Amino acid sequence: MQQIQIIPAIDIIDGKCVRLSQGDYNQKKIYRENPLEMAKSFEAAGFQKLHLVDLDGAKARQVVNLKVLEKIASQTRLQIEFGGGIKTDADLQKVFECGAAQAIIGTVAVKQPALFFSWLDRYGSEKIILGADVKGERLAINGWLETTKVSIYDFLENHRSRGLKYVICTDVSKDGMLGGTALGLYERLIRKFPDLHIIASGGVSSPQDIENLARIHCPSVVVGKAIYEGRLNLGTLLR
């Protein structure tokens, strides 16, 4: 079984660590008042990367929680992949200035492909992660509030030819539900796009879920609610 990189997640609303269920802002649970403390606990446990999502930004369609990003980036050594509300050149520039190692771009890649490709060309494939979130294998955008008619497979086929390397894919129906991952979806994506680095996200509830992803050669997985709910121990995860 291959090694899989585990990336702990922090989702931000009103500057606090929260988790949603299936992307529903009305199903919000606050876990920590201070995201920096949470990030430091991940760093202390031995993690190297952090998945940081600005849920306020995703809803507002512009980046909101830059101060949280800046604090975590300046006070930890975690490599941060940051997403939520990045819609303009200025947004993206600020995200990198505030210390993000990588930026997750979702809605822009669907609605303004020329802008997305210009960012990919300017910043390089190591800095840009395509956020391809799905409901029933169709893309969901704008903080999952809108489902498109675009197939995930057609979408990735179009983008891989332009030098894309990283894709984070969340099955919205699985996210925050602690009911297991969309294993079949990831298996199909990995088989169809062996040249892409697929980051699985949503539904991890046990070490078995992570082992299953490793078995299908998934390179990375984001883990959120299972940590906050005590289903997964940080030390066990790293082992």
Angle, CA 101 vertex, CA 225 and CA 153 arms, to 5°:
65
From the candidates 11, 56, 171, 209, give the one annotated as an active-site residue.
11
User: Does residue 175 have an active-site annotation?
Assistant: no
From the candidates 91, 133, 175, 209, give the one annotated as an active-site residue.
133
User: Does residue 24 have an active-site annotation?
Assistant: no
Residues with a known catalytic role? 11, 133
